[in-house]
Structure formats: C-alpha cells, structure tokens
Amino acid sequence: MSGSINLSNSASARIVEIFSSLQGEGIYLGERQIFVRFGGCNLHCDYCDEPRTIPIPSGEVMELNQFHSEVSRLKSEKNHRSLSWTGGEPLLHVPFLLSVMPWVRKEGLLNYLETNGTRVEAFKQVRDLCDIVAMDIKLPSSTGRELWSEHLEFLRLIPKKSFVKVILTDKTTEAEWRQVIRILQESSPDIPLILQPATPIREVRTIKPALAIKFLRQAQSLLKEARLIPQWHPIWGLR
C-alpha cells in the first residue's frame, strides 16, 4: 500500500466526531473509551457501518487546541481507560497522531488503534505510540481486493495486547478462511483472532451460523486463541 495519502498535518486533522461510548467489538468489549473518528479511508468494504467516513476528504478540520479541549472534557465526565483512534482509517492521519498520541498517554489514557491493517509504512511511524492495535483482516469477497501481503507485513509489527478481527459475511469462502489462518500462523500465531459475523446492512448478509462455527473450530485447533463475538453496538443501541 502506498504511504502517500495524508489527510492531516501536525496541528489539525479531518475528524467526523469525538464521543464517549462502550467498545462494541473484540476482546475489549464493554470497556468505556473515548472514540476519535477520523474522516477518509483507503478501502471501501461493503459491510462498512460508517460509510460517511469513506470519502476523501470527509469530516471537518479540527485544530489541535479544539481536540485537546474536547478530549479533556469527555475525560473529566467519566472514567476511561483508553482512547480509540477509529474511522475511516486513522493511519491516513500520521502527522496528527504523532503530535497527539504522546499527549494522550500523559493524560493517563492508552492509545487504542483501530485499523484496516494495510498502511504498513504509516504504522511504522506510530507503532511505538500504540498500546493496543485492533487490526482487521479484509477479505477479497468484501473489499474486491486481495490484501494478504499487506496484512502479513502489518501483522509482523503489531504490539502485544492487540488482536485481529475478521468480518464474516454470506460471501466469505473457505479458501479465504484458509488464507486467514495461514498468514496468522506465519506471522503471529499467539495473537487473539476474533470472528465477527457481519451485522446485516444495506445488501450485506451475515455468514450462516454453521459455517461460522466451522471456521471457529478450525481456528481454535490451529491458533492459540480464537473467539466468535458479534458486533454489539446495534444490539445495545449505541454508536
């Protein structure tokens, strides 16, 4: 993946919203976080639940002092353990991340990066500032693109306390699943793998339960840890 796309400078970034909510996905399910949702994404997944963040550019330009003020306000209102950088794709905003991630740590929050796991060179720049990485493996049946090599390189870089997530739809194939297992075995077999049945949206349909369970059992037999966890935001009625 090219590292040339950049939607930020060190003093501002395009941000769709900043809010406090419960994490609805993965192994940190239910943990209260401050969410910073960036605008712009380098992919277009058919199951995306935030399509407004895909266009480049999207979101409004937010200056550094405004960002500090909004995060400080949310932090003062409730207890939060971490700040989730989400989108869109946060790694389109590396200069801004480099300027604010150290401040987030000084405020007593962990940097929790949600990423599509394709922008390897961008990630190398912020890797040491990331405490937790929630990385998606994007399947060709949902993106229309093969990203295995990018994902493999990215997986070799992610820190401990991270996890990998795969969204499963009715288009997910057994060949794709074998490839997921292969790149995890080759790069990071100890990292938790989360199977997430797609939340039905627009034309997207979720995977059949029997096939999801089959994939789970295969993963549990070949990797150290695998879990099946649906997306809880729509169930809880939260954004």
Structure confidence at residue 219 (pLDDT): 97
In whole angstroms, give the CA distance from residue 209 to residue 211. 5
Cα distance between residue 233 and residue 239, in whole Å = 6
Kindly state whether residue 1 falls inside one of the protein's structural domains: no
Residue 57, preceding peptide bond in cis (omega within 30° of 0): yes
Read off the pLDDT band of 4 (50, 70, 90).
low
* CATH classification at residue 187: 3.20.20.70
The predicted structure's pLDDT at residue 5: 77
Residue 236 forms part of a structural domain:
no
Q: Is residue 193 part of a domain?
A: yes
Banded pLDDT at 9 (limits 50, 70, 90): confident
Number of domain units in the chain: 1
Report pLDDT digits (tens) over 18-54. Answer: 999 999 999 999 999 999 999 999 999 988 888 888 8
pLDDT for 204-237, tens place per residue? 999 999 999 999 999 999 999 999 999 998 888 8
238 occurs within a structural domain: no
Residue 194 in contact with residue 165, Cβ under 8 Å?
Answer: yes
Tell whether 195 is covered by a domain.
Answer: yes
Q: Is residue 221 part of a domain?
A: yes
**Gap between the Cα atoms of 154 and 123, Å rounded:** 8
Q: Over the stretch 146-197, which tens digit does the pLDDT of each residue have? A: 999 999 999 999 998 899 999 999 999 999 999 999 999 999 999 999 999 9
pLDDT of residue 50: 83
pLDDT of residue 170: 96
Q: Which domain holds residue 128?
A: 12-228
CA distance 61 to 80: 25
Flag whether pLDDT at 1 surpasses 50.
Answer: no
- Longest Cα–Cα distance in the chain: 50
DSSP the chain: --S-----BTTEEEEEEEEEEE--SGGGTT-EEEEEEES--S---TT-S-GGG-SSS-SEEEEHHHHHHHHHHHHHHS--SEEEEESS-GGG-HHHHHHHHHHHHHTT-EEEEEE-S--HHHHHHHGGG-SEEEEEPPPHHHHSS--HHHHHHHHTTPPTT-EEEEEEBTT--HHHHHHHHHHHHHH-TTS-EEEEEPPPBTTB-BPPHHHHHHHHHHHHHHSS-EEE----HHHHT--
Give 103's contacts (C-beta < 8 A, 6+ positions apart). Answer: 68
pLDDT at 125: 98
DSSP assignments along 58-112, one per residue: -SEEEEHHHHHHHHHHHHHHS--SEEEEESS-GGG-HHHHHHHHHHHHHTT-EEE
Per-residue pLDDT tens for 65-103?
999 999 999 999 999 999 999 999 999 999 999 999 999
Environment class of 69 (CB within 10 Å of its CB; exposed 0-12, middle 13-18, buried 19+)? exposed
